[in-house]
Each structure stands twice: as C-alpha cells, then as structure tokens.
Chains A and B, each alone.
Chain A
Amino acid sequence: MADVALFMADLALGLLLGCVFAVIAHGLNLIWGVAKVVNVAHGEFIMLGAYGAYFLNLWFGFNPLLSVPVDAAIGLAVGVGFYFGFLHRELRGKESMGLQSEMVTLVATFGLALFLINAVQALWTGNNVGIPWSPGVVLVGSIQLPLGGLYVAIMSVAIIGLSHVFLTKTYLGNAIRAYSQDIPATQLVGINPTFTAAVGTALGFCITMAGGALLTVWLPTGIFPAMGNLYAPISFVIVVLGGPGKMWGSLVGGLTLGVIINVGQLFVGSIALATAIGFLTLIPVLLLRPEGLLR
C-alpha cells in the first residue's frame, strides 16, 4: 500500500515537473517549427532566463513567477536579435532549408552556446545560485505537493495554451503557421516572410526565457552557467517525442519525460539512470514514429 502511495506521489510530481519541462521545450519547438532551425544554444537561453529571475529576486525581491513577464519581454528582444544575427542570412529568399544551411546554423549556434556559457561564468562565476522562495506544500488527498511547483505547472500550461490561441486565432499567428508550412505560398498572399519569421523566432525565445524563470522554482540551488547541458537535451527529447512543430506536442512530450524520470527512479533506484532511460526513449520514437507521438 505504501508503495502505491509512493508511486502516486512520484507520478504527481512527475506531472508537475513535466509541465515545466514542456514550457522550456515549447520555445525550442516554436523556433524549430517556424524557422526549421534547431537552436543548439537553447539550453543557454534557459540558463539566461534562470539568471534573469535570480537577479530580479536579488535586486528587487521578485519571486520567480513575477519575473516571468520581465524575462519574456527580454526574450522577445533577444529573439529578434537572434533571428537577424543567425537565421536571416540562411533563410532569406529560400523556400526550404537545405542540409548545408542546417549544418551552418547547428555549428553557429553551438559556437554561441560555448560563448554564452563561458561569458556567464566569467561575469557571474561558476558557483551554483538559487532563489530562496518556497510557498509551502498543499495536501491533495494523501499526497503532498509543493505549492510552488503547482503554480509553475498552472502557468506553464497557461503559456502553452496562450501561444496556441495566438497561433490559431490571430492574423499574425495564422501567418506564422502558414510560413512554417509553405513559404512561397505565404509570399503570394502578401505576407512579409522576414517579419513573420522574426516574430515566430522572437516568440520562441520569449517562451524559452520565461520557462527558464519558471524552472528556478524547481531549482533551489541549481542555477549555474553549464545548466543548459542538462536542459537542452531534455528539450530536444521532448520536442522529438511530441513532434517538431506540433504545439501540443511539447506538453505531451514534457509530461511523458517528467513521468518517466520521476516514476522511473522508483524502479531503477537513481535519478541519473531514470534520466538516461528518459533520454533513450528518443531512439525508438525516432525509429518507429519519426513524426512524434501525436498524430
């Protein structure tokens, strides 16, 4: 009986953690879906979002949830810069991304990742920092859930839901989806491809950095320059699990990975092994359902 309770508690924690995984992967998913580019420096922007929340807490006493909109606004600006710095040259005037362009962006964003990690380390040292904020626990049935994690999960689902509404109900959102499907056709109906792609990329960065701020609630002492080396693979796996470019895919992939890691550690006895298993689910999914778990 006790085992069932433990299982349920880990399942609930896994679902909560999965929500925040989903939102950090969602930013990558948008960029991947719209610009057809994989941002290797994705983990580093999560890290920057987390540091943003940390400094807002240090200077102004913001809690991580309050710093989400600030991080999101910074993310928009960073995203526009990223689009014109890295993607515009490769995407401009092309109808689809060739393997050559793909390799250029992979290597270029990898250089960016190397730069960001070490620049942050030089600026703010490599020591672990964290935000001392814990709003307590709440009892659901017999399961204790961290209230902070619950807030984060609600906000994560809200962010993904809002981005879905934006992409399906507004003119600009529809333009972004059209761009991701067929570039020449969008130009024929009078949509400016550069503007659309820039907005899509900026939105991706906005969500990524907001996700970094949300993630800090789960990391009482886990903000450090190389944290992206863990969260970038997590995001890649989630996006592939859900299917690149599918907006609900991030949520499905995130919840799957969160549950595998949290429930898996019950069975294999260590969080590292459970994470490894969660990562390796990528291979069968790519082999059997390359379009992702969602239809």
Chain B
Amino acid sequence: MRLRGIRSFGPTLWGIALFLVVLAGTAPWIPVFLLTVLIQLLIFSTLAYSLNLITGLTGYVSFGHVVFMAFGAYALAFAVGTFHLHPVAGVALGALVGLALALGIGGVTLRFRGVYFAIATLVVAVAASYIVLEIKELGDGQGIILNIGFEPLSWFYTIWVILAIEVILTYWITHGRIGYGVRSIKSDEDAAKALGVNAARVKLFLYALSGLFAGGAGGVYAWTASGVFPQAFDLTFSLQMLAMIVIGGMGTLLGPLIGAVAVYIPSYIFLTVLIGFQFIIIGIVVTLIALFVPEGIVGSLRKYIPELRGILE
C-alpha cells in the first residue's frame, strides 16, 4: 500500500529529491575538501541534465554544448569583474546569456537534422570561442581573473538550487503534455509534425532551457574558479557531458546523475595519479556503450530487469 502522493511522482524523482535534500542538510558539516568535490560533481550533473534536455529527449546530438557553459562563465566574470555585481546575480546573468545564445543558435541550427545539427553546433562552438578570445574586454585570450573569496557553501547552495529546478523541469517535461510531443519528435519528427506537434517550437524551447541551465552552471564554474580562462571553451567539456548522458542513459530522469557520478568521480581519482588517463578509459567505455548497449546504465537496467521498470525512469 503506497501513499497516493508518493505514487504519483514516482520513486525515481523521490529518490533524487531525497539525495539532494540529504546533501543540502548535511552540507555545512561536510569537510571543505569533500565539499568542493561535491560542488564540481553538482556542476557536472547540471551540465549533463542540460545536454539531456536536448540530446537525450529529442535525439539531436549537440557537440557544441560547451559554448553555453563558457559564455555563462565569461558573463559572470565580466559582470563581477567590471560592475562588481554579487556573484549570484552574475550566475543569473550567465544563465540569461546562455538562454539568449541558445535561442540565437537554436533558431538557426535546429532546422538541420541528424549529423548536420551535430556538425553545425560543433562548428558554431569553435567559431564562437575564436571570436570571444579576440575581444579585449573579455581578457584578450588570457581570461579574466577575479578576486572573490572562497565561499564553498554559497557555491554549493547556488548550484544545488539550479540542479533541483532542472531535475523538476526535466520531470515536468517528460511527464507533462509536452512530453508526448518530445517523444514523438525523437521517434519520428515528420510523423510528429503531421499529427500537429509544433516541432520547431518544442525543440527551441528545450534547447533554450538547456542553454539556460548550462549558462548557469558555467557561471558557478567561474565563481568557484574565481575567474575564467580560455580553457572554458575546451571541447573536452562537451565531450564529458555527452559521455555522462551516454553512460547514464539518454533521455532518462536518473541517467545524467548516474553518468555524472560514473564519469566525474573516476576522473577525480585518476587526476591525482595520471592526468589524461581517465579519458582513455572514458573513451573506450563510451564507444562500447554506444555500440553495444546504446540505452546506457539506466536504460539497460529497465530493459533487462522488468521489475525495475516501474521504479527507474
């Protein structure tokens, strides 16, 4: 006998909520070193959920997602460095910049399908990084160094709020009315259009949301790094986000979180041993998963253990 309210949201959302609430409740007592690791993990989870919104839900592979994160980071660094805004306002600004950029890029590139979309996003991201690194006001290719103290708890609660909103929105999108449209676009866009789904608007909505959250995550990233450097445009970030949702399970509610833990924590351990070695392993794992179990961890569990289908999503 289950409580009606709990039943209606599903155990996965409750599980994630419990995890986040426990994290938030214990954060002030977590040792600072561990807390900074957790903050990075939450930033990567936010990025993974944001890529999941477009790539996982609609099947449009975006290779240039790092551009939103980098613009968010640059927006925070510029606003805080030049106008001495409060960093939280900077994060909000970063999110808005990500949103605006996603509307601009998505308005054009979402007309292309499949590989053309993937290539267009990649090329736009590379071109944008070249342009930003030439702008004098944005550090002229050297980045912007800020001097805003070390406050891990503020970082933690900011990224926590962003991630919590993002997970709830993902749930709302997959379970609400718009979810039918999203799923129909993923399986057959032409059929979806014929049935009256406004595919262009749904895709742009998802892309804009994903830009918003990636921009916010980028803002927090720049805040924790107390500055922004051209490395923020490194395509490795795009690749890590994609690796996270591929490993965790594309288009699922729990997948990006599992993927972020599975990719980030080993990276963190390897980082102290042999730099770059983690990517050799991640590369092999991503290739094998894409070829042999394209559903990822969560998708495979659902596929092979029928009892879990009602619980995991």
Contact = CB atoms under 8 A, between A and B. Distances in A.
Interface of A: 38, 40, 86, 89, 99-100, 102-104, 106-119, 121-122, 126, 229-230, 232-233, 236-237, 240, 270, 272-273, 275-277, 279-280, 282-283, 286-287, 290
Interface stretch (B10-18, B77-85, B154-162, B284-292): B284-292
Interface of B: 59, 61, 63, 108-109, 111-116, 118-120, 122-124, 126-128, 130-131, 133-134, 235, 239, 242-243, 246, 274, 276-277, 279-280, 282-291, 294
Contacts of B282: 111, 114
B61 A286 contact: no
A112 B242 CA distance: 13
A111 B115 contact: no
Contact of B59 (A89, A99, A126): A99
28 contacts: A89-B291, A99-B59, A99-B114, A103-B114, A104-B294, A106-B61, A108-B286, A111-B283, A111-B284, A111-B286, A111-B288, A112-B287, A113-B283, A115-B279, A117-B279, A118-B277, A118-B283, A230-B126, A236-B123, A240-B119, A275-B127, A275-B130, A276-B126, A280-B123, A280-B124, A282-B120, A282-B123, A290-B116
A273 B134 contact: yes
B134 A112 contact: no
Contacts of A102: 114-115
Contacts of A86: 291
B285 to A, nearest CB: 7
Contacts of B119: 38, 236, 240, 282
A276 B130 contact: yes
A160 B123 CA distance: 25
Contacts of B126: 229-230, 233, 276, 279
Contact of B287 (A38, A115, A276, A290): A115
Interface centre among B130, B279, B282, by most chain A C-beta atoms within 10 angstroms, is B130
Q: SS class of chain A's interface: helix, strand, loop or mixed? A: helix
A102 B114 CA distance: 7
Contacts, number: 130
Contacts of A122: 274, 276-277, 280
Contacts of B276: 118, 121-122, 126
Nearest to B122: A233
Contact of A114 (B61, B114, B128, B283): B283
A32 B26 CA distance: 52
B114 to A, nearest CB: 5
Contacts of A118: 276-277, 279-280, 283
Contacts of A282: 119-120, 123
A115 B280 contact: yes
Interface centre among A103, A114, A122, A272, by most chain B C-beta atoms within 10 angstroms, is A114
A270 B122 CA distance: 21
Contacts of A286: 112, 116, 120
A21 B63 CA distance: 22
A116 B130 CA distance: 24
A240 B242 CA distance: 24
Nearest to A97: B114
B235 A108 contact: no
A236 B290 contact: no
Contacts of B113: 99
Contact of A237 (B123, B246, B286): B123
Given A237-B123, A240-B116, A287-B111, A112 B291 contact: no
Nearest to A283: B108
A107 B286 contact: yes
A111 B134 contact: no
Contacts of A112: 283, 287
